[in-house]
Structures are given as C-alpha cells and as structure tokens.
Amino acid sequence: KQKVAAVAEKCKTEVHGGHDVLKIVGTSELPKTEEQRCFLECVYKNLQLIVDDKFAEPGAKRLMMMKYGSNPDQLKIAQTEIETCAKEVKPTAGMKCSLAHNIRQ
C-alpha cells in the first residue's frame, strides 16, 4: 500500500492531475476522463502492470502474490483474471492512455 501511495503521488505530479485523480487508485471504478486514464496508466507502468505499452503478466502476478499470498481462494481468482487480461487486454486505437481503462474493464 505504501508503494502504491508513493507511485500515485508521483504520477499525480507527472500528469498534472488534480487531487481527485488519487481517488481512483483505491477503487475498481473505470477512469472516466483522459486525466484519470493517464494517471492510472502511469501508476500501472510504475507497478510494472504495463511494460512496453502492453499488459505485463509477470508484474500482475507479483502484485497478486503481495496482495493475496496467504489466501489460496483469492489467488486462484486473481490468477484467472490475470490470464484473461494477458490474452484480451489491448490499447484502444484513438484513445489516449486507453490501456489502463481496458485493464480495469
């Protein structure tokens, strides 16, 4: 959580986001604005969920282990979601910072 908070502050500065962009990190809410999408994409890149403008399965698995390492039921659910994202999540043509939105979807 501390790492995510530090990354969120860094990304807020990078995307010149208002205070409200930070709220999206702790939710499962879809980003509604370009500012929110770009902020979230910055967070995901810093957490290695996005590498080379693609969903990064190894980074997702690392985060999954940190969050659910002691809960086998949650690990199984998260593993299935990660595998689905690895196959299906791609950027949307013509939408800036769309990968973060599509990962959340």
CA dist 90 and 103 (Å) reads 8
Q: Please tell me the pTM assigned to this model.
A: 0.89
Over residues 22-39, the mean pLDDT reads 91
pLDDT of 33 over the 80 cut: yes
The predicted structure's pLDDT at residue 53 = 92
Work out how many domains the chain is built from and give that number: 1
Q: How confident is the model over 30-48, as a mean pLDDT?
A: 95
pLDDT number for residue 96: 94
CATH number for position 25: 1.10.238.20
Q: What is the distance between the alpha carbons of residues 92 and 99, in angstroms, rounded to a whole number?
A: 7
Find the domain containing 96 and state its range. Answer: 2-104
- Cβ partners under 8 Å of residue 91, min gap 6: 53, 98, 99, 102
Q: pLDDT band at residue 1, thresholds of 50, 70 and 90?
A: confident
- Determine how many CB atoms are found less than 10 A away from the CB of residue 56: 19
